[in-house]
Amino acid sequence: MAKFGIIGGTGFYRLEGLPIVREEDVTNKYGTARVSIAEYKGSEIAFVPRHGVSHSLPPHIVNYRANIKAMKDLGVEYIMSTAAVGSLHMLLPPGELVLLSQFIDWTRRRIGTFFDEEDPNFRHVDVTEPFSGFLREKILKAAKARDIHIHPYGTYVSAEGPRFETPAEISMMRLVGGDVVGMTIVPEVVLANEADINYATVTVTTNYGAGMLPGKVRHEEVGGIFAEAKGRLERLFMATLDILVEGQLT
């Protein structure tokens, strides 16, 4: 059983430095998730590349329910995820790590719940604290110990995609209190809450939102900035795993 899970977003398609002991196709009522199982200090780590290993799944058709249900079926209790995001603040430049604390859902066509049919046991999941306070605390502790700069709070605006946002939409997102914008964390975070899995997300700002600077937002630039930050993100996740697996940093 894998107690810990990682979901990799754009630019994070495999676990570097961790030996993969097996690959599994985990099938459930929602579909099939391809999961890599790594081993770290005696614990199994389940890894899912959100967009597929070749980045072939755009955000609006990712099978979020199959992925989260697969993690649950594997015994995962803690999920750390990554995402590339656009910055909504000039003082939050590309290349920064942001630990999410809240979200605003602007998606329109996604199934955002496991409770999509008649069920006497359905529940209204509470998302007062959508990102696990326990897991966020461990990530911040790891960042401090490894001297990795990270913004401890951030409100994520989830857009439908796959297009980038208009300057008018970016202006509205800024007005309502958003800090970063992306296309994937909702419904993933909601599903994790429904599945009673501790879930936290570290994002990497890869660009400013449309209209904040002259010129267009280009996907190639997004990938380049994320690649530069990936080393810090991997060190942060490894340090957090040290805390979770051993109860201390080594």
Q: Which domain holds residue 159?
A: 4-246
pLDDT in the model for residue 249: 52
Span of 48-52, 74-78, 82-86, 166-170 with lowest mean pLDDT? 48-52
Q: How far apart are CA 197 and CA 194, in angstroms?
A: 8
Neighbouring CB atoms inside 10 A of 147's CB total 7
**Mean of the per-residue pLDDT values of the chain:** 93
Q: How far apart are CA 180 and CA 89, in angstroms?
A: 8
pLDDT in the model for residue 156: 98
CATH code of the domain in which 117 resides:
3.40.50.1580
Say if pTM beats, i.e. exceeds, 0.85.
Answer: yes
The count of structural domains within the chain is: 1
SS3 116: coil
Q: How far apart are CA 14 and CA 35, in angstroms?
A: 10
